[in-house]
Structure 1
Amino acid sequence: MAATRSIILRASSLNSLSRVSGSNYISARPASSDLKKIEDIPIHTGQKWDSDDKRLVRFLNTPKQVNTRYAIDLIAQVPPKEVEQRVVWCNGGGGALGHPKVYINLDKAGPKACGYCGLRFVKKDDHHH
């Protein structure tokens, strides 16, 4: 009895839907077939979706916003900090915006980067122990 009632309710829902849409059938055609092809913008990792990828549908009403100022390029513009110590520490500025304190050994020549934030440190050449 409940199954029969469910079928009758579904049939009446379809009838009212066909009256609203003005046709006697419901289209099962995917909506994405009517959409124009969207070109994707690559992100910092080089990832770019194909123009027929279904994930691009989220960018129909507004364009995809990609920040072209990548953090790795910005931190590379900061010159290394010259220090006199053999071992320095970095906490990323401290506080809530920083990172755990790490110690960086500068015994070997050349700048050494912090593993968290990328800041570079270099030991001054003229410093003697």
Structure 2
Amino acid sequence: MAAPCAALGRACVRGFVWKGPANNSALGCLSTSSWRRNYTVKVSVTGEKITHTGQVFDEHDYRKVRFVGRQKEVNEQFAINLIEEQPVNESDSRIVSCDGGGGALGHPKVYINLTETQNRLSW
């Protein structure tokens, strides 16, 4: 899990990253960060949303009967994209653990055995 900006000693506002003092300003310069989450979903020629697996039905496909009178709902936050946004954590230990973030929305503590690759441990 990524550490919050305050824990890293940087002041952050969502969408902005602290760049340090600049132009004799006491507060420093805030600029937009380099990444942006894409909230769009691909749409087929017929106007139907395409899922992360590329599933789209033809205009006369019998499987479209379950969407009669309503629109097909597609989760726009694909897991592969969310995982890609997480930073890589490096460790000097061979065994690391994750406590799940705590609270009711977390998960039990999990221990992860790492493999050694090129004098560095990664997972």
Shorter-chain TM-score category?
Answer: 0.3 to 0.5
TM-score, normalised to structure 1, is 0.44
Q: State which structure, 1 or 2, has the greater radius of gyration over its C-alpha atoms.
A: 1
Report the structure, 1 or 2, having the larger strand content. Answer: 2
TM-score, normalised to structure 2, is 0.45
Report the structure, 1 or 2, having the larger helix content. Answer: 1
